Structure formats: structure tokens, C-alpha cells
Amino acid sequence: MLGYTIDREKEMSEVNEKRKGKYKHKCYRRWTGMKERCHDKNHPQYKDYGGRGIQVCDEWCNDFWSYADYMDSLEADEDATTVDRINNDGNYEPGNVRWASRSTQGANRRSYGRGYSFNKSNQRWKVQWQIEGKVIYFGYYDTEAEARTQARLTCPQGSDNYRGL
């Protein structure tokens, strides 16, 4: 019986050490954060992740070490301290994440601006969006309120996601 107890204690000690290592790993907070943003409807950023259909692949969602091993296998510059989805509308999954600098990640956004601006040359409000690298014009309007309404209606992410000022 004594041998069993010692083996069991050794096994539990190894499990506890691995568990402690998990919490100290550089990827742990990133892993919990991505899962919360994608799956917890009460998370403040859920609407920008899970609410848009972005998910964490099953393998990573259920296994921290699978995620950590993948991230550890990626090459990164020393200023690359954030995890970035390459396709901003894609899931957290192998092939769509990378280590990135804050400036690289900041440039990889789905922000479309407010969609309208005042054109000084003709003294009217212009509605336009940049979609897949192309500027699409939606017309000129006499008032800012009309332009804002049209910008909301033509927002590439849908009128419910419009964030105009």
C-alpha cells in the first residue's frame, strides 16, 4: 500500500507542477481572453468576437497545451507580443493566428470609420466606404443627418454594427 501512496503522490505532484506551469505560461492569459471574448456573452467585447461568429477551434478551446504548443512553434520578432488573427473575420485556429507587434495588430482592424465626411469643394456631405481595398461612393447629401443615415444603411458590417460618431 505504501508504494501505491508514494506513486500516487509523485503523479499528483507532476500534475500540479504542470498545472502551475500552465498558469505561468506566456500564452495562458491570451488563451483565456480569446475564449471569453468568443464564448462568454457577458464579456464586454463579446459583440466584436463571438457575436460576429468568431470561434476558438475545438482543439484549442478544450486543450490549453495544444494552443500553447502551436503558438510556441511560430516564429516571432522580439516586438511581437500580441496574438493576431490574420483574417480578422476568421476564427482562432491553426493557420489564422500569428505573433504580431501592437502596431501590426492595430493595422489589422475591421474599422470602417464613420463612413461620411464633409466635402469642402461642393459644400455637401459625402458617404463612402473602403471595402476590400476599394473606395465605394454612396452619394452626396445636403445635411450631416442625411449622410449619417445613409452611412448607417450602407455600412459594410450591417446597420446594426454601425459605429458612426
What is the C-alpha to C-alpha distance for residues 21 and 15, in angstroms, rounded to an integer?
10
- β partners of residue 139: 127
What is the C-alpha to C-alpha distance for residues 91 and 54, in angstroms, rounded to an integer?
5
Q: What is the pLDDT of residue 158?
A: 77
Domain boundaries defined on the chain: 2-107, 116-161
pTM assigned to the model: 0.58
Look-up of cell digits 490574420 = 86
Low-confidence ranges of the chain (pLDDT < 70): 1-20, 106-113, 161, 163-165
Q: What is the pLDDT of residue 113?
A: 60
